[in-house]
């Protein structure tokens, strides 16, 4: 059964190439995540999130990354279905040949990671795109500038009575803002719901961003979420333990001189990257 009339090797090369891009992104994501552990009230983490959310080069890469995730999953599913039908009658006794755990369960560990991605998107990515409500942050400087702008309009009589009252109410609200809604340096409003954004920043204020730091801390304090997170990264470790060696094999890279380097990179990814991610919920939980 052939779902797509392309050579099985070409499909594997495509799967490997899309996977390679995802591999390159992982250390970047880990680096940003580790900022959460810095004892600065989320200053670095929010700065990194702001950069990732606003930089145009990153935005282009984001599209490429999403395409890579989608194609990696689609090709993996196609290959699995085709391979399943290459043996229509299964053996009675399960295959006992010596193979690595990671290689045997690639589609399952991949499936676990894909399910987690959906959860991850609901928690963060959809919030960023305004599809789901989360927590928000806004620069006090920008809120102040917006307020001043409206205040000038009010002096010139350009605001309706309703807006005038709202502006006065905003002045009252922001002067009474509690300390948990401010970051350590008192430069940003944080941990705001959408209603609070309107309350403190004004109805028409749009320059607020998702407060990923608060959202992450809240999520990692939830033990069920953290345990799911840790299990997913065990699956990721297994997936990566086979992925890199398999990628090299598929691209025809096998030589006694550089094979040890491939094994080193594979082990690094399989052990260091998942442990790096797993440290975060463990540090926050305990």
Which residues are near other proteins by CB under 8 A? 1-2, 7-13, 79, 82-83, 85-100, 103-104, 106, 242, 245-246, 248-254
Q: Report the nearest approach of other proteins to the CB of residue 104 (Å).
A: 6
| Cβ nearer to other proteins, comparing 160 with 257 | 257
Tokens of 248: 């090299």
Nearer to other proteins, 3 or 168 (CB): 3
Cβ atoms within 10 Å, residue 89: 5
Residue 63 or 93: which CB sits closer to other proteins?
93
Kindly tell me which of 11 and 199 has the beta carbon lying closer to other proteins.
11
Give min distance, CB of 86 to other proteins, in A: 3
Q: How far is the CB of 143 from other proteins (least distance, A)?
A: 54
Q: Supply the minimum distance, in Å, between the C-beta of residue 34 and other proteins.
A: 31
Q: How far is the CB of 68 from other proteins (least distance, A)?
A: 19
Give exposure, 137-156, as e/b (b: 16+ Cβ within 10 Å): bbbbebbeebbeebeeeeee
Closest-CA residue to 266 (of 81, 104, 23): 23
Q: Which two tokens stand for residue 174?
A: 């922001």
Beta-strand ranges (E) seen in the chain are: 136-139, 188-192, 209-210
C-alpha–C-alpha distance, residues 191 and 264, integer Å = 42
DSSP-based three-state secondary structure for 39? coil
Q: Which is nearer to other proteins, 173 or 267 (CB)?
A: 267
Nearer to other proteins, 77 or 182 (CB): 77
54 burial type by CB count under 10 A (0-12 exposed, 13-18 middle, 19+ buried): exposed
Least CB distance to other proteins at residue 231 (A): 23
Left if phi > 0, otherwise alpha if psi is -120 to 50, otherwise beta: which for 132? Answer: beta
């Amino acid at each position: 059964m052939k779902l797509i009339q392309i050579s099985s090797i070409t499909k594997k090369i495509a799967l490997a190439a899309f996977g390679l891009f995802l591999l390159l992104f992982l250390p970047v994501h880990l680096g940003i995540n580790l900022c959460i552990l810095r004892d600065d009230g989320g200053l670095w983490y929010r700065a990194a999130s702001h950069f990732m959310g606003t930089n145009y080069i990153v935005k282009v890469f984001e599209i490429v990354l999403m395409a890579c995730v989608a194609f990696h999953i689609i090709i993996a599913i196609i290959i699995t279905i085709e391979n399943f039908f290459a043996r229509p009658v299964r053996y009675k006794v399960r295959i006992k040949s010596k193979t690595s755990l990671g290689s045997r369960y690639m589609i399952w560990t991949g499936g676990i990671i894909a399910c987690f991605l959906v959860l991850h998107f609901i928690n963060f990515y959809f919030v960023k795109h305004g599809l789901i409500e989360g927590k928000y942050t806004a620069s006090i400087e920008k809120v102040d500038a917006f307020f001043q702008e409206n205040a000038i309009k009010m002096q010139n009589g350009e605001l309706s009575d309703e807006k005038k009252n709202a502006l006065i109410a905003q002045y009252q609200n922001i002067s009474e803002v509690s300390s948990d809604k401010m970051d350590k340096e008192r430069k940003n409003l944080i941990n705001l719901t959408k209603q609070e954004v309107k309350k403190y920043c004004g109805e028409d204020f749009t320059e607020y961003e998702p407060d990923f730091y608060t959202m992450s801390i809240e999520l990692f304090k939830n033990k069920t979420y953290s345990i799911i997170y840790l299990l997913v990264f065990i699956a990721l470790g297994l997936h990566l333990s086979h992925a890199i060696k398999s990628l090299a094999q598929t691209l025809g890279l096998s030589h006694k001189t550089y094979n040890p380097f491939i094994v080193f990179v594979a082990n690094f990814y399989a052990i260091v990257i998942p442990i790096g991610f797993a440290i975060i919920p463990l540090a926050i939980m305990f």
